[in-house]
Amino acid sequence: PLACWNGERLPLSEVRVSVLDRGFLFGDAIYEVIRVYSGKPFLFQDHLNRIQRNLEKMSLPADLGSIQRWIEETISASGFVEASVYIHVTRGVAPRTHRFPDPPPTPNVLIYVAAFHDSYSQFRHSGASVVVVPDQRWKRCDIKSVNLLANCFASEMAHQQGCAEALLSDDSGKLSEGSRSSLFGVKDSVVLTAPLGENILPGITRRLIQQLCEECQLEMREETIHQSQLDEIDELFLTATTMEILPVTRVDDQPIGDGQIGPVSRQLVDAYQKHIERFRNE
Ligand code: PMP
pLDDT digits (tens, 9 = 90+) for 175-201: 999 999 999 999 999 999 999 999 999
**Nearest protein CA to atom 4 of ligand 1, as residue:** 180
Expressed in angstroms and rounded, the spacing between residue 182 Cα and the centre of ligand 1 is 6
The pLDDT, as a whole number, for residue 76 is: 98
Cβ contacts of residue 256 below 8 Å, gap of 6+? 230, 233, 234, 235, 236, 248, 249, 250
Expressed in angstroms and rounded, the spacing between residue 175 Cα and the centre of ligand 1 is 15
The pLDDT, as a whole number, for residue 23 is: 98
The pLDDT, as a whole number, for residue 207 is: 98
List active site positions: 144
**Nearest protein CA to atom 12 of ligand 1, as residue:** 203
Residue 36: exposure state from Cβ atoms within 10 A (0-12, 13-18, ≥19): buried
Q: Does residue 205 have its Cβ closer than 6 Å to ligand 1? A: yes
Q: Does residue 68 have its Cβ closer than 6 Å to ligand 1? A: no
Expressed in angstroms and rounded, the spacing between residue 250 Cα and the centre of ligand 1 is 21
Same fold, 2-115 and 122-281: no
Its pTM surpasses 0.90: yes
The pLDDT, as a whole number, for residue 122 is: 86
What distance in Å separates the CA atoms of residue 75 and residue 77, rounded to the nearest whole number?
6
What distance in Å separates the CA atoms of residue 196 and residue 239, rounded to the nearest whole number?
15
* Closest ligand 1 atom, residue 179 Cα: 3
| Superfamily (CATH) of domain 122-281 | D-amino Acid Aminotransferase, subunit A, domain 2 (3.20.10.10)
Sequence spans of domains, the chain: 2-115, 122-281
Q: pLDDT of 259-268, one tens digit each?
A: 999 999 999 9
pLDDT means over runs of 10, the chain (282 residues): 98 98 98 98 98 98 98 98 98 98 98 97 93 98 98 98 97 98 98 98 98 98 98 98 98 97 98 98 96
**Domain 2-115's class?**
alpha beta
